Chain A
C-alpha cells in the first residue's frame, strides 16, 4: 500500500533560521504529493503540491521538489517566522484516491 514517512519532531528553530522537513514515500502508480499545515485548533490547509516528477511546489516561501528517483518530497523554507509555528504533514494520493498522511512534524519558531 501507499505510505508516507516524515521526519519526526518536534523541531524548534530561531526566527530567520533555515527549515527542512524530510519526507519520503512509497506508492503504486504516479502519486501526487502534498504538504499540508495545521495551525493550533484548526483544520488542515494545503501548503503546496506537486503532481509529477521534478515539479516544484511553492507557497509562502516554502518549497518542495518531487524527486521520483529518491521517492522524496522534502519541505524547505529559507527564513522562518514565528507565524510558521505549526504542524506540517506530508501526504500523497495515488490510484486508490486516498490521501495518505505522514505522522506530522511539529515546528516551533522562537523570536
Chain B
C-alpha cells in the first residue's frame, strides 16, 4: 500500500516565479494538509483540504493557494516566489479529522534563487 506520494522531490525556481507541488494521499485517506518546514525548524501548517474545500488555513499569505481533486489528491501553488519560500514542503493525509494521526510524504525541497 503506497503511502503519501509527493512530486517533484526537488525543485529550483527563480524569485518571482510560480510553482505547483503535487500530493497523492494514502489510500483511504480523504483529508490532505500541507506544511512548510524551514531548515532546522518544525513544520508550519499552511492549509487543509477536505471534500475539495479548504477547511483550515494557517498564517500564510494569499500567494499560497491549493486545490483538492475528487480523487483526494491535492496541489499546492505558490505565486511570486520569494527567497524566504525556500523550504521543505510536506503533504500529510489522514482519514477524517486526523485525531489518529497523519501520514506524511517525504516532501518537496523547494529552493528559490
Binding site for B on A (CB under 8 A): 32, 34, 36, 42-46, 49, 51, 89, 93, 96-104
Which of A32, A51, A98, A104 has a CB less than 8 Å from the CB of B45? Answer: A98
22 contacts across the A-B interface (CB closer than 8 A): A32-B99, A32-B100, A43-B4, A43-B104, A43-B107, A44-B43, A44-B104, A49-B100, A89-B42, A93-B98, A93-B99, A97-B48, A97-B56, A97-B97, A98-B33, A98-B45, A98-B58, A99-B33, A99-B35, A101-B43, A102-B42, A104-B42
Q: What is the size category of the interface that chain B forms with chain A?
A: 20 to 34
A97 to chain B: which residues have CB within 8 Å? 31, 48, 55-56, 97-98
Which of A36, A98, A103 has a CB less than 8 Å from the CB of B48? Answer: A98
Tell me the minimal C-beta distance from A95 to chain B in angstroms: 9
15 more A-B residue pairs beyond the given contacts A93-B98, A103-B41, with a C-beta to C-beta distance below 8 A? A32-B99, A36-B104, A42-B106, A43-B105, A43-B106, A44-B43, A45-B104, A46-B102, A97-B97, A97-B98, A98-B48, A98-B56, A99-B35, A99-B43, A102-B42
B101 to chain A: which residues have CB within 8 Å? 32, 34, 46, 49
Tell me the minimal C-beta distance from B50 to chain A in angstroms: 8
Tell me the minimal C-beta distance from B41 to chain A in angstroms: 6
A101 to chain B: which residues have CB within 8 Å? 42-44
